[in-house]
Amino acid sequence: MTFKVGAYVVDTVTDTVGIVEAAAPEVVVMRPIGGGALWGRHTSEVRLAETMERLRAETRYLNARSRGERL
């Protein structure tokens, strides 16, 4: 499966929600919500994020930012 740039996905290896930055037939490159270092996974290790997973990840980021935590 090829993912669209901007899609929210879950890295099933680390159980991390990311945003697709680039995708090829066998590799997906993601960045964390809020920015940060890019990482890649084989498409078999990535799936589309469900709505609640995306909302939880965004809320976790916003709460950490509001507390002044370094992200």
In a domain, 29, yes or no: yes
Q: Where are the beta strands (DSSP E) in the chain?
A: 8-11, 16-23, 27-32, 39-42, 46-48
In a domain, 12, yes or no: yes
> Which pLDDT score, from 0 to 100, does residue 70 have?
76
pTM above 0.75, yes or no: yes
The pLDDT tens digits of the residues spanning 16-52 come to: 999 999 999 999 999 999 899 999 999 999 999 999 9
Q: Could you tell me what percentage of the chain is helix, strand and coil, using 3-state DSSP and rounding each to the nearest 5?
A: 25, 35, 40
Please state the domain count of the chain.
1
- Tell me the residue range of the domain where 37 lies: 8-66
Confidence of residue 71 (pLDDT cuts 50, 70, 90): low
In a domain, 1, yes or no: no
